[in-house]
Amino acid sequence: MSELVIKDLQVSVDTEDGPKEILKGVTLTIASGETHAIMGPNGSGKSTLAYSIAGHPKYTITGGTVTLDGEDVLAMSVDERARAGLFLAMQYPVEVPGVSVSNFLRTAKTAIDGEAPKLRTWVKDVNGALERLNLDPTFGTRSVNEGFSGGEKKRHEIAQLELLDPKVAILDETDSGLDIDALKVVSAGVNRFREQEGKGVLLITHYTRILRYIKPDFVHVFVAGKVAASGGSELADELEAEGYDKYLKAAAV
Amino acid sequence: MTVTDTDPAIARDSVASALEQDRVESHLNPPPSYDLADHPVPTGREEVWRFTPLKRLRGILDGEASDKRLRREVSLPDGVTLSDITAEQAREIGELAPNDRPSALAVANAGGAVLLDVPADLEATEPVVVTLTGEGAEDLVWGHVVVRLGRHSKATIVLRHTGSARYAATTTVVVGDGAELNMVSLQDWDDDAVHLGRDAIRVGRDASVKHTSVSFGGDVVRMHANVEYDGPGGEAELLGLYFADAGQHLEHRLFADHNQPRTKSNVVYKGALQGQGARTVWIGNVLIRKVAEGIGTYEENRNLVLTDGCQADSVPNLEIETGEIEGAGHASATARFDDEQLFYLRSRGVSDAEARRLVLHGFFNDLIRKVGIPSLEEQLTDTVEAELAKNVLDGLPPVGAP
């Protein structure tokens, strides 16, 4: 059983006008077996939450705690967080020219496991993961994210999720820019991950569309750097019908 | 990053202008001459010398006579010959006259040239491998080489420089019509070597040349790769890879002289720098003469600065005498490691050092794959790894092959 606990997390970024507070005290607990959807308008700080948990250097933690199974995540380096069992599927995966997908995947798997994967099973695992995400077997020879279409980038992120097998996955707008077929493929990948014992998912999205394919256990409305409301999946239906206006107005008061 | 592209113009077949051979002087490259008086000792303020640390050339430009030689090991495929010729014979073959002081001194002082001859129509199956070894950092050595590829011949030539010396050499490569050459010059010197080299290539009609300059070792290495054309349809791909450590000066100067119509040049040089005082210079000159209608040229230089205390100069120059071309462009970028790339890799559990290695590996991998000599590609990858191990990364196992 694992548990990602975020308590009163406060985060700022440096701007030309000095530090700007983005997260203003976020509290969330993602227990294993649970999928939490975070929904909110643009600029509400959803992505900041994802990147802060992953340890992006751009963000400064000014208060609060994040623990994974009691371990202090904020004290860990970026790669230590990944090895501890966190995975961030990025909204904008980064190109790494000249590094093949297969080399990248094997290097990452070796780092996560602390030993090189067994060659025979590994090749099978990689090919299987790529195939399930409708990625061509020659995909492995391409440079990481270079020249990938938007859909290929997201499917590649989910292939990594399957292969690296973290405890908790944070999916940052994985649905954005996907057509309906790609969305189904990506959602199926996330659902395969969820079906395993003891996995937690934090699904960050702007749209309710993906929630038709990935049913969340909890939905949180994120406005102005904090959780404005929490509920079950019915909250997503309400947002679909009414939008964020109600919460934005309340936050503005 | 700066990227400039001129609008592609429609290639026009113009026999009249193809026949017109007015010698426009390049503003960036001194005219060729065997006369030493035309190549005075530089003060360091000249455009072509201003990046070079003249004192560290340790007197080479004084031009003292010397009969020292580099030790030579040669592996020749069947049909390819290596012989000694006189300086006069070199001229008769049609070598490209020196266009700077070191190459003029090399011709004047070498006491004759070495001719590597690939007969017409011969397709050499094995690469020509010449290893030149300097016996000591104080040895002053003059080198004069002519490589001749006959019509429709095909050859791969690897020229490797090791050991140490004060070495100035000029190499002319005359590539016959329809011939195909893949040539690599590897500067793998000891730390105290000085090397002033000039590879001047004349590309025959419809011939194609790939020339790769790889510089890892040496205290000061200054290499020219010059290309001009003997007829329409010639193509030149000029590649380079360099890795400067603390205190090293590695300079690469390119000159693509489009003196014939419908010719092509494509230049890609990539370098990395690490350590205090590591210095690289890349000068990419292209001249499109009036006659050179329908040509295409592109130049690219990328530098990755791995530590503080390094300096990378990168200067692409384009002189255009005609706009009737397919395209002309250049790009130059010098940067540190990209934080977003490192974050992405590290977010997958890869340590900081390993992430840096992967990025650098990828940076050079694109280029190494273009060299087109499998045995050498592996060796270049290993050398890049070894260079990295010196500074940025300590004691990590090698990155797996792609």
Identify whether the C-beta of residue A162 lies closer than 8 Å to the C-beta of residue A132: yes
Closest residue in chain A to residue B398, using alpha carbons only? A107
Q: Best mutation site among A87, A99, A119 for testing chain B: the one with the most B CBs within 10 Å? A: A99
Min Cα distance A102 → chain B (Å) is: 7
DSSP secondary structure letters along A153-205: HHHHHHHHHHHH--SEEEEESTTTT--HHHHHHHHHHHHHHHHSTT-EEEEEE
Q: Best mutation site among A81, A96, A164 for testing chain B: the one with the most B CBs within 10 Å? A: A96
Min Cα distance A43 → chain B (Å) is: 20
Residues 6 or more apart in contact with residue B24 via CB below 8 angstroms:
B287, B289, B290, B321
CB burial of B6-26 (b: ≥16 within 10 Å; e: otherwise) equals beeeebeeeeebbeeeeeeeb
For residues A242 and B56, the model is more confident at B56
Tell me whether A100 touches chain B (CB under 8 Å): yes
DSSP secondary structure letters along A196-246: STT-EEEEEES-SGGGGTS--SEEEEEETTEEEEEESTHHHHHHHHH-SHH
Res B23: pLDDT: 54
Tell me whether A81 touches chain B (CB under 8 Å): yes
Q: Which residue do the tokens 């937690």 mark?
A: A200
Domain boundaries, chain A: 3-252
Res B251: pLDDT: 98
In angstroms, rounded to a whole number, what is the distance separating the alpha carbons of residues A229 and A242?
14
Min Cα distance A108 → chain B (Å) is: 6
| Neighbouring C-alpha atoms within 13 Å toward the C-beta of A21 | 11
Relative to beta strand A168-172, strand A143-144 is unpaired
- What are φ and ψ of residue A150, in 5° steps? -55, -45
In angstroms, rounded to a whole number, what is the distance separating the alpha carbons of residues B59 and B125?
41
In angstroms, rounded to a whole number, what is the distance separating the alpha carbons of residues A178 and A182?
6
pLDDT greater than 60 at residue A102: yes
In this complex, the residue of A78, A100, A103 whose CB is nearest that of residue B347 is: A78
Instruction: Identify any residues that bridge with B329 across adjacent strands, giving them in sequence order.
Output: B5, B298
In this complex, the residue of A56, A78, A96 whose CB is nearest that of residue B358 is: A96
What is the DSSP code (8-state) at residue B123?
B
Min Cα distance B369 → chain A (Å) is: 10
Residues 6 or more apart in contact with residue A59 via CB below 8 angstroms:
A11, A12, A13, A22, A48, A51, A52
Q: Are the beta carbons of B402 and A99 separated by less than 8 Å?
A: yes
pLDDT greater than 90 at residue B4: no
pLDDT greater than 80 at residue B397: no
Q: Are the beta carbons of A106 and B343 separated by less than 8 Å?
A: no
Res B396: pLDDT: 41
Tell me whether A88 touches chain B (CB under 8 Å): yes
Q: Best mutation site among B300, B344, B370, B399 for testing chain A: the one with the most A CBs within 10 Å? A: B344
What is the arithmetic mean of pLDDT over B151-180? 98
Res A250: pLDDT: 84
| A-B contacts at Cβ under 8 angstroms | 91
Q: Are the beta carbons of A107 and B399 separated by less than 8 Å?
A: yes
In this complex, the residue of B349, B364, B365 whose CB is nearest that of residue A79 is: B349
Joined together, the tokens standing for residue B163 give 């050991």
Q: How many Cβ atoms sit within 10 Å of the Cβ of residue A50?
A: 21
Tell me whether A90 touches chain B (CB under 8 Å): yes
Q: Are the beta carbons of A90 and B347 separated by less than 8 Å?
A: yes
Question: What sign has the CA pseudo-torsion A62, A67, A72, A73?
Answer: negative
Contacts of B355 in chain A (CB under 8 A): 79
Tell me whether A57 touches chain B (CB under 8 Å): yes
* pLDDT digit string, tens, across residues B38-79: 999 999 999 999 999 999 999 999 999 999 999 999 999 999
CA B205 to each of CA A1, B129, B149, B235, B354: distance values in angstroms, whole numbers, following the listed order: 72, 26, 13, 9, 47
Q: Are the beta carbons of B354 and A107 separated by less than 8 Å?
A: yes
Contacts of A55 in chain B (CB under 8 A): 347
Res B400: pLDDT: 40
Q: Are the beta carbons of B348 and A104 separated by less than 8 Å?
A: yes
Domain A3-252 has CATH 2.40.110.10: no
Min Cα distance A85 → chain B (Å) is: 9
Res B275: pLDDT: 92
Min Cα distance B396 → chain A (Å) is: 12
Q: How confident is the model at residue B1 (pLDDT cuts 50, 70, 90)?
A: very low
Joined together, the tokens standing for residue B74 give 């040669």
Q: Are the beta carbons of A79 and B399 separated by less than 8 Å?
A: no
pLDDT greater than 80 at residue B24: no
Q: How confident is the model at residue A253 (pLDDT cuts 50, 70, 90)?
A: low
Per DSSP, chain B holds a count of helices (H) and strands (E) of 6, 17
Residues 6 or more apart in contact with residue A168 via CB below 8 angstroms:
A2, A4, A30, A68, A85, A86, A87, A199, A200, A201, A202
pLDDT greater than 90 at residue B26: no
* pLDDT digit string, tens, across residues A117-150: 999 999 999 999 999 999 998 999 999 999 999 9
* pLDDT digit string, tens, across residues B220-275: 999 999 999 999 999 999 999 999 999 999 999 999 999 999 999 999 999 999 99
Q: Which residue do the tokens 């993906």 mark?
A: A210
ipTM: 0.97
Identify whether the C-beta of residue A42 lies closer than 8 Å to the C-beta of residue A206: yes
DSSP secondary structure letters along B343-395: HHHHTTT--HHHHHHHHHHHHHHHHHHHH--HHHHHHHHHHHHHHHHHHT--S
Min Cα distance A115 → chain B (Å) is: 12
In angstroms, rounded to a whole number, what is the distance separating the alpha carbons of residues A93 and A48?
15
Identify whether the C-beta of residue A96 lies closer than 8 Å to the C-beta of residue A144: yes
What residues 338-397 of chain B have any CB closer than 8 A to a CB of chain A? 338-341, 343-352, 354-355, 358-359, 361-366
Q: Is the pTM of this model over 0.90?
A: no
Contacts of B345 in chain A (CB under 8 A): 96, 104, 108
Q: Give percent of chain B with pLDDT exceeding 90.
A: 84
Q: What is the SS3 assignment for B308?
A: coil
Assign 3-class secondary structure to A222-233: EECCEEEEEECC
For residues B395 and B247, the model is more confident at B247
Res B222: pLDDT: 98
* pLDDT digit string, tens, across residues A194-213: 999 999 999 999 888 999 99
In angstroms, rounded to a whole number, what is the distance separating the alpha carbons of residues B273 and B293?
38
In angstroms, rounded to a whole number, what is the distance separating the alpha carbons of residues B234 and B177?
8
Res B2: pLDDT: 41
